[in-house]
Amino acid sequence: MLTGSTILITGGTGSFGNTFVPMTLAKYNPKKIIIFSRDEMKQWEMAKLFDDDNRVRFFIGDVRDRERLYRAFSGVDYVVHAAATKIVPTAEYNPFECIKTNVNGAMNVIDAAIDKGVKGVVALSTDKASSPINLYGASKLASDKLFVAGNAYSGEHATRFSVVRYGNVMGSRGSVIPFFMSIRDNGTLPITDNRMTRFMISLEQGVELVWHAFEDMVGGEIYVKKIPSMKVTDIAHVIAPEARQEVVGIRPGEKLHEQMIGIEDAPFTYEYDEHFKILPAINDWAVDETRIKQGQKVAEDFSYTSENNPEWMPLDALASWIEANHKKIGAI
């Protein structure tokens, strides 16, 4: 599907884009990948990595700017929407800015995609959009709802919209692994709560989930990959086994455990070998066989959270991953 196509990724200079671009170039040989973002310095740095590849193009713009999106989407086949205001405290202290990017920006992407005849859009979501307790999560829940409903508005253009949702990305900027690694020599690591758990997914797995969504989607699905969990205390022990762990308390807007599928979504959720799929509650799409395919309905009381996860990452597996990826941890 993506072979020979033109793909645009909003917020493409972030952690996801820096992994998506080389992986997609290698696997699908697209005609063009357009990096759409507002940070010229990040674009300049990223462009140096693809100096000799004329398939990679850069487009300065902001998802808040509707007219700029319309210009950028001309001739585009597929869009990955990765742009967002993502840092929880930043969203809490700058709520209007968060809404402008995460909600208004999503509406702009939907309108531009439909009007410019884009074939498919996959939007990146977050575990924080499931039963949100902070503005970032609430804004991403609103974004998810917008992309799901966008399928009812595409009409004769037949643009399809779907969402992928995953939790803590291992080694990405601002995440727990590079944070612990940066202070491990201090001899003390801050732990918000000894019970805290997190899902563990690599950026490569996130990219593969987006690929699958493009291949599988009819429109309106939310894809959730099956991934292992870890206790934060175990992550700290792997990174600094000799360090003392000091409990400092949960920060405002932070959850004890990550949740990707709440019990309220169970009536619309189906299970597959490597992922779950939440189907839309609107328009009877949740009982549409073309969307369900080979999925098995989950139990009525089902939820998918990091503490009730049947799969846990062994400590030695995390240690091996850190050893193999230490050069890029925290770099993108």
What is d(CA 296, CA 273) in angstroms, rounded to the nearest whole number? 10
What is d(CA 328, CA 319) in angstroms, rounded to the nearest whole number? 15
- Nearest 5°: the CA angle 314, 320, 326 is 130
In the chain, how long is the greatest CA-to-CA distance? 62
Q: Containing H/E element for 184?
A: none
What is d(CA 214, CA 109) in angstroms, rounded to the nearest whole number? 17
Which residue, among 129, 246, 257, has the nearest Cα to 180 in the 3D structure? 246
Give the three-state DSSP class for 281.
Answer: coil
Q: Does residue 198 contact residue 229 with C-beta atoms inside 8 Å? A: yes
Q: Containing H/E element for 92?
A: helix 88-93
What is d(CA 185, CA 306) in angstroms, rounded to the nearest whole number? 29
**Active site positions, annotated:** 128
